Amino acid sequence: MSDNHEPEKISIPNGRQGLIAKIAEKAVKTNSETILGIGDDAAVINSGNLRTLVSTDMFVEGIHFNLVYTPLKHLGWKVISAAISDIIAMNAQPKQVMVSIAVSNILMQSQILEIYEGIHLACNHYHVDLAGGDITSAMRGLTICVTAIGTAKEDDIVYRNGARPTDLICVTGNLGGAYMGLQLLERERSVFESTGVQPKLDNNDYILRRQLRPEAQIELLDYFKKKEIKPTSMIDLSTGLADELMNLCRASDMGCEIFEERIPIADETKKMAEEFGITPVVAALNGGEDYEMLFTIELKEYEKIKDNDFFTLIGSINTADKGSYIVMNDGNMMPLSDSFNSSN
């Protein structure tokens, strides 16, 4: 099962991880073609000389998006970006998507087609094919389920569990922007609903785009190929850095050390975080939906990557007994957990 979006909003009774573990336990593997089932960003299937990777994500109105401020075209773009991000996180090339939509009669056909306009745009941009799906009625609300399919050579696939001591921890782009965009949209929505004052969204294009129209890190695949680098582990940041880094460390049975000063945060994100009284690094550690890539590479690759302007080296992997922590700018070492609390 792939990890989900915005963990703070997910409240599956008694804990989602425990539930998934119980389900995975009973999922007997009967086909030798199923190389990997539940447990990473995507399932891995043996299809002869290649591997087929499949991942499914569900996006629910009121949980993952709010139609009050989400343009339908952006929504279509976003669900495709989020879905193929899971395939990229396995170092595989996304090739097809299947999109299923359950929609109530409140949406008109023209609005459904607007969602698909965003889907087509994203498909063209990422060179993936919309290969099928399902459209059905719903009593209420809009639910979108996207299955992303990709291919990779067996030796190229990167799992979550390959991180080893001294490996360098890297993250693409910058973090916390999508989260601050969401905070801004939520604030303006609630102001509008209680006072009728029109939303003030000017000059916040960057963080709004991070939230409403995120980009999947597909160029990273070519970068790795060109540089002849194979990450030792990789995961996409659908939830926050803290949560996903812990997922990666747990899967690899490792600990880690990262540095506050190294965590990439855009100026626009910092500015908005300060406006909200949120410590920027907390937004970066806990905020989801950036769809950046978190990966580890061997120390010996350092020379190859040191001058790149694509991703940032934020720390390194330790043995599990050393624990997982972030070194703050003041020198304090704070333990990391799935959700980082700066007052830990």
Site residues (CB under 8 A) for its own copies, limited to 99-158: 99-103, 105, 107-109, 112-113, 116-117, 120, 123-124, 127-141, 143, 145, 147, 149, 151
The pair of three-digit structure tokens given for residue 331, joined into one six-digit string? 């020198």
Q: Which is nearer to its own copies, 53 or 208 (CB)?
A: 53
Residues of span 12-41 touching its own copies by CB under 8 A: 12-14, 16, 19-20, 22-23, 26-31, 33-34, 36-38
Q: What angle do CA 210, 159, 266 make, to 5 degrees?
A: 20
Q: Smallest distance, Å, CB 179 to its own copies?
A: 18
On whether the CB atoms of residues 108 and 70 are closer than 8 A, the answer is no
Q: Smallest distance, Å, CB 137 to its own copies?
A: 5
The pair of three-digit structure tokens given for residue 314, joined into one six-digit string? 């934020």
On whether the CB atoms of residues 320 and 264 are closer than 8 A, the answer is no
Q: Which is nearer to its own copies, 26 or 226 (CB)?
A: 26
Q: Smallest distance, Å, CB 287 to its own copies?
A: 18
Under the phi-then-psi rule, with left for phi > 0, alpha for psi from -120 to 50, and beta for the rest, what region is 4? beta
Q: Where are the beta strands (DSSP E) in 187-304?
A: 233-236, 254-259, 293-297
Q: Does 183 bind its own copies (CB under 8 A)?
A: no
> Nearest-CA neighbor of 116 among 79, 87, 143?
79
On whether the CB atoms of residues 317 and 165 are closer than 8 A, the answer is yes
Residues of span 204-233 touching its own copies by CB under 8 A: none
On whether the CB atoms of residues 170 and 296 are closer than 8 A, the answer is yes
DSSP 326: E
Residues of span 284-323 touching its own copies by CB under 8 A: none
Q: Which is nearer to its own copies, 51 or 213 (CB)?
A: 51
Residue 51: its H or E element: strand 50-60
Residues of span 38-97 touching its own copies by CB under 8 A: 38, 42-43, 45, 47-50, 52, 54-58, 60-64, 95-96
Q: Which is nearer to its own copies, 100 or 279 (CB)?
A: 100
Q: Which is nearer to its own copies, 37 or 71 (CB)?
A: 37
Q: Which is nearer to its own copies, 148 or 265 (CB)?
A: 148
